[in-house]
Amino acid sequence: MTIERKPVAFGDLRSWMKALRAYGELREIEAEVDWNIELGTIMRLAQGSGTGPALLFNNIKGYNHSDSRCRRVFGGGLSSYRRIAMMLGLPPETHPRELVKIARNILDGGIAPKIVNTGPVKENIITGDDIDLYQFPTPYWNRLDGGRYLLTYGGVVTKDPQSGIMNVGIYRGMIASRNQIPILMWRAQHIGHHVTAWQQGGSPEMPIAIAIGWEPSLGFCGGSPVPKGMCEYDVMGSIRSKPVELVKCETVDLYVPATAEIVIEGYLGIDPSSYMMEGPFAEFTGYVAGDRSPKPTIRVTAITHRNDPILRGTIEGSLPGSFSENAVCSSIMRAATAWNVLDRAGVPGIIDVWCPPVHAGINLLISMKQSYRGQAKQAANAIWGSSAAHVRYKHITVVDDDIDIHDYAAVDWAIAYRVNAGEDDIVIMPSTFGAGLDPSTRRRDRNAALFGTGKWNRVLIDATMNLDYEPDPEFGGARFPPLVWPEQNDVEAAYARFAELGLERPKRG
Ligand SMILES: Cc1cc2nc3c(=O)[nH]c(=O)nc-3n(C[C@H](O)[C@H](O)[C@H](O)COP(=O)(O)O)c2cc1C
């Protein structure tokens, strides 16, 4: 049963940090920390497997003077399921399985934003020659990065020139000069759809704004595959159960949260002659990826910010033992999106859907109650045929409803004993669209400039019991033999004697 939410409209990043402090989820670092490699290294080491705290760096080398434009960096706000639950207005201990179900509902709803005249983000307005991106304590996150990445968790706002519908996505951006930021964006992302539309209209530039530091739903929704035509601001409204208050930008016709910490406005050059060098960067795959190459570049026309603004950033790239915010949020949102895709396609019997947090939605797990042969293949076809499968769902494993897909051992056991490659349980869908950053794809085939997307050979692992087998009279008409696990009444009788025998029930996992 889905738990009832008590939605919270935090108001801004500061109130979210206050809530985190109250729950013991925030560590404030007062010791001086260097923006150059040290800050990023600390953030990566501190995050753990979804167990680390959110971090606020209050004393950054070179930016700790009273006249610094920006002195603080906040990150890790959503690198744990406890904090995602808090964002959604749920008890912190809510199981990720429930978070997926709630996320499905959030994606289905929407509360339109409200336009207001002004807000704290207009406390400081910088234009023209006064613009200097180096005034922000942008970390050099990793030693092998190509530069200082200012845009790691900002909501990048663009709009479709015909419908006027805005999109908010997260796209990485590196400082190239005082007022230029090349970014990485793929054609198949919604920002890419907008670029195509502006190009077709004959424009060499596209208006763009980046909101940095607001309520947690900004990063959560920006990094999620919210369906095309639906504005992420509506989904944020649905999370907080209140419209997001937006103000108009100073130099572009776009809208940003009125209480954002920092907003960068400008125009994205979409003519290749204006591209600047960007990359590489420590990427979501856990590899340093996204080779150094010319990329579409933002020409910054204004920066607005609150007094004493806080720079919101994140350390990207998940590895075993160190899960990024992207990976933890993706495990919820990409599972929820896939489940909605399966429902809309009419695939029956879906019990649970999950993306483990170590890989940001690359491996998708589905548990289903089969009622006919070929149901797992129907599920994989539905997922891979959806636009949500861009950069996601390379490998799909389908198991029966007796397997808990939140238990790695259970899934592994099902793969060991219910998969027979000679019986069509492994299906390869070759040469589909895919992630341009996945190093298991040859470098040539990752060239999005040549092919518009990466290249993935996708795999279905059908680890369900094969309904193509004959029912076996020896097994009472079942297709597989009985499990070694004792019958329930024998289990209860044995457990009843455990204390007498000096035994304890083993814990699972
Ligand atoms: C921390 C973080 C960094 C990301 N960086 C990029 C990026 O540099 N380029 C990109 O195309 N997508 C990036 N993504 C993924 C997109 O934000 C994500 O696919 C999102 O759904 C895109 O928005 P859209 O659905 O509106 O296209 C990133 C996501 C996160 C959470």
The count of other CB atoms within 10 Å of the CB of residue 403 is 24
Closest C-alpha residue for ligand 1 atom 28: 170
N- to C-terminal Cα separation, the chain? 23
- CB 331 near ligand 1, within 6 Å: no
Closest C-alpha residue for ligand 1 atom 7: 171
Given a contact cutoff of 8 angstroms between Cβ atoms, the answer to whether 275 and 103 are in contact is no
How far away, in angstroms, is 185 Cα from ligand 1 center? 8
Closest C-alpha residue for ligand 1 atom 22: 169
The 3-state DSSP composition of the chain as helix, strand, coil percent (nearest 5) reads 30, 25, 45
Q: Which amino acid, 164?
A: G
Closest C-alpha residue for ligand 1 atom 23: 169
Given a contact cutoff of 8 angstroms between Cβ atoms, the answer to whether 389 and 379 are in contact is no
Closest C-alpha residue for ligand 1 atom 30: 223
Measured distance CA(187)–CA(388) in Å, rounded: 14
Phi, psi (rounded to 5 degrees) for 11: 105, -45
**pTM of the prediction?**
0.95
For the four alpha carbons of 128, 134, 140 and 143, in that order, the dihedral sign comes to positive
Phi, psi (rounded to 5 degrees) for 235: -70, -40
- CB 184 near ligand 1, within 6 Å: yes
37 by Cβ neighbours in 10 Å (0-12 / 13-18 / 19+) ranks as: middle
pLDDT in tens, the chain (509 residues): 568 899 999 999 999 999 999 999 999 999 999 999 999 999 999 999 999 999 999 999 999 999 999 999 999 999 999 999 999 999 999 999 999 999 999 877 799 999 999 999 999 999 999 999 999 999 999 999 999 999 999 999 999 999 999 999 999 999 999 999 999 988 778 899 999 999 999 999 999 999 999 999 999 999 988 877 789 999 999 999 999 999 999 999 999 999 999 999 999 999 999 999 999 999 999 999 878 999 999 999 999 999 999 999 999 999 999 999 999 999 999 999 999 999 999 999 999 999 999 998 999 999 999 999 999 999 999 999 998 898 999 999 999 999 999 999 999 999 999 999 999 999 999 999 998 899 999 999 988 778 878 899 999 999 999 999 999 999 999 999 999 999 999 999 999 999 999 999 998 76
Q: Which of 189, 283, 337 to mutate to test the pocket of ligand 1 (most atoms within 8 A of CB)?
A: 189
Q: Which of 141, 170, 325 to mutate to test the pocket of ligand 1 (most atoms within 8 A of CB)?
A: 170
Q: Which of 47, 157, 172, 191 to mutate to test the pocket of ligand 1 (most atoms within 8 A of CB)?
A: 172
How far away, in angstroms, is 341 Cα from ligand 1 center? 19
How far away, in angstroms, is 152 Cα from ligand 1 center? 10
Measured distance CA(281)–CA(366) in Å, rounded: 32
- CB 169 near ligand 1, within 6 Å: yes
Given a contact cutoff of 8 angstroms between Cβ atoms, the answer to whether 116 and 247 are in contact is yes
Q: Which amino acid, 210?
A: I
Residues 6+ apart with CB under 8 A from 478: 471, 472
For 86, the 3-state DSSP assignment is helix
How far away, in angstroms, is 262 Cα from ligand 1 center? 19
How far away, in angstroms, is 382 Cα from ligand 1 center? 22
Task: For residue 494, give the H/E element and its range.
Answer: helix 488-496
Across the strands, what pairs with 448? none
How far away, in angstroms, is 389 Cα from ligand 1 center? 13
242 by Cβ neighbours in 10 Å (0-12 / 13-18 / 19+) ranks as: middle
Measured distance CA(303)–CA(130) in Å, rounded: 9
How far away, in angstroms, is 191 Cα from ligand 1 center? 9
Give the orientation angle of helix 325-345 with respect to helix 96-108, to 10 degrees.
60
Looking at the chain, the whole-number percentage of residues with pLDDT higher than 70 is 99
How far away, in angstroms, is 456 Cα from ligand 1 center? 18
Measured distance CA(359)–CA(140) in Å, rounded: 23
Structure tokens, 232: 């992420």
- CB 436 near ligand 1, within 6 Å: no
